Structure 1
Amino acid sequence: MAEIQMQVYEEIKREDDDHRYDDLKMEEKKIKNDHVVVLLWKKWIKTNCLALTINMLTTGIILTVIYFIVIAPLRQKLADIDMRLTAIEKQNGTKLRESENVESTNLGGKDTSFMVIFQEGILPTTPKILVASENTTRLSIRYFNQNKIQTITMDKSNTEYNLSKSVLPSVGIHMAGVELHSDEGINVYGFSLGAGVSGGYSSMPTRFASIKYIIPTLPAFYSYKNMIALTPCYQNTVVSINLKLKSGSVAYDNKQYSNNETIRIMVNKYDTFQLSTSSDLSGTLVTSSKPVIVVSGNQCNSAIPINIRAGDCNPFIESVLPTNQLDSMFITPYISTRLNNTVRIQAVNSTNLTIKTGKKAISKTLNAREFLDFYYNTISFISSSEDILVTSYPHGLSERKGDPFMMTIPGVNQYLYEYDFVVPTGFDSYISITVQSDATDGLFLDGNSLKSQSSVFSISEGMNNFSTFSLPISTGLYRIEHKKKVRFGLWIYGNGDPWDGYGYPAGMAYKAYN
Structure 2
Amino acid sequence: MAYVRIAVSMLALLSLSCCSSAARDNKGTEFILTFPENLHRQNLNPKLFIACPHPGGATVEITLSSTGYNTRERVTYGMVTEVEVDRAAVELVGSRKSDKSVHVTSDVEIVVYGVFAEKFSSDAYLALPTDVLGTEYFASCAGTPSDRPDRPAEFGVVGVHDGTTVTIVPSQAVTFDGQNYTAGQSFSVGLDRFETLQVQASEDLTGSKITADQPVAVLSGNMFAICMPMDEPQLGSGDHIVEMIPPVDTWGKEFVTVPLTKRTGGDLFRVVAARNNTQVDVSNKNTKTLNAGEFWEIDVPSDEYRHVTSSEPVLLVQYSKSNDADGTQTDPFMMIIPPVAQFETEYTFSTVELFSTFSRRTHHINLVISYGFVTPESYGYPGGLRLSRIAASCSTTTPVPADRVDNDCDGRVDEELLNGIDDDGDGLIDED
Q: TM-score, normalised by structure 2?
A: 0.76
Q: Displacement of 1:169 after TM fit? A: 1.6
Q: Contact 1:192 / 1:199 at 8 angstroms: preserved in 2?
A: yes
AA aligned to 2:61 is S
CA distance in 2, matches of 1:281, 1:425: 29
Paired position in structure 1 for 2:35:
118
CA distance in 2, matches of 1:198, 1:321: 21
Which digits, 9 at most, give the CA deviation of each residue in 1:149-185, with x for residues without a partner? 3201122344322112111121212221211111211
CA distance in 2, matches of 1:383, 1:229: 29
* 2:353 alignment partner, SS class: coil
Residues 105/278 of structure 1: CA separation in 2 closer, same or farther (3 Å cut): farther
Candidates 317, 329, 353, aligned match of 1:401: 329
Aligned residue pair count: 348
Q: Displacement of 1:218 after TM fit? A: 1.9
Q: Contact 2:25 / 2:132 at 8 angstroms: preserved in 1?
A: no
Residues 177/225 of structure 1: CA separation in 2 closer, same or farther (3 Å cut): same
Which digits, 9 at most, give the CA deviation of each residue in 1:292-316, with x for residues without a partner? 0000110111111596779611011
Residues 146/235 of structure 1: CA separation in 2 closer, same or farther (3 Å cut): same
Choose 281-290 or 384-393, whichever is displaced more: 281-290
C-alpha RMSD of the superposition: 2.2
Q: Displacement of 1:105 after TM fit? A: 8.5
Which digits, 9 at most, give the CA deviation of each residue in 1:156-215, with x for residues without a partner? 344322112111121212221211111211111111112111110101111111111111
CA distance in 1, matches of 2:152, 2:382: 24
* 1:207 alignment partner, SS class: helix
Residue 345 of structure 2 is aligned to residue 417 of structure 1: yes
* 2:323 alignment partner, SS class: coil
Matching of residues 424-503 of structure 1 within 5 Å = 424-426=352-354, 427-433=361-367, 490-497=368-375, 499-503=376-380
Q: Contact 1:311 / 1:402 at 8 angstroms: preserved in 2?
A: no
CA distance in 2, matches of 1:495, 1:145: 32
Candidates 266, 291, 301, aligned match of 1:367: 291
Matching of residues 89-488 of structure 1 within 5 Å = 106=23, 109-123=26-40, 124-134=43-53, 135=55, 136-147=57-68, 149-155=70-76, 156-165=78-87, 166-171=89-94, 172-221=96-145, 222-223=148-149, 224-245=151-172, 249-304=173-228, 312-339=237-264, 340-349=266-275, 350-356=277-283, 360-376=284-300, 377=302, 378-398=304-324, 401-426=329-354, 427-433=361-367
* 1:220 alignment partner, SS class: coil
CA distance in 2, matches of 1:113, 1:400: 38
CA distance in 1, matches of 2:176, 2:132: 29
Choose 297-306 or 226-235, whichever is displaced more: 297-306
Q: Displacement of 1:106 after TM fit? A: 2.9
**Mind listing any 5+ residue stretches in structure 2 that lack a counterpart?**
1-20, 355-360, 394-432
Q: TM-score, normalised by structure 1?
A: 0.64
Residues 341/213 of structure 1: CA separation in 2 closer, same or farther (3 Å cut): same
Q: Contact 1:338 / 1:397 at 8 angstroms: preserved in 2?
A: no
Could you say which structure has the higher helix fraction? 1
* 1:153 alignment partner, SS class: strand
CA distance in 2, matches of 1:131, 1:284: 30
Residues 181/370 of structure 1: CA separation in 2 closer, same or farther (3 Å cut): same
* 1:295 alignment partner, SS class: strand
Q: Percent identity?
A: 25
Choose 146-155 or 222-231, whichever is displaced more: 146-155
Q: Contact 1:143 / 1:149 at 8 angstroms: preserved in 2?
A: yes
**Mind listing any 5+ residue stretches in structure 1 that lack a counterpart?**
1-103, 434-489
Paired position in structure 1 for 2:6:
none
Paired position in structure 2 for 1:508:
385
CA distance in 1, matches of 2:59, 2:236: 40
Computing the radius of gyration over CA atoms, which structure comes out larger, 1 or 2?
1
Which digits, 9 at most, give the CA deviation of each residue in 1:212-264, with x for residues without a partner? 1111122211311011111110111111101223xxx2112332111210121
Q: Displacement of 1:147 after TM fit? A: 3.5
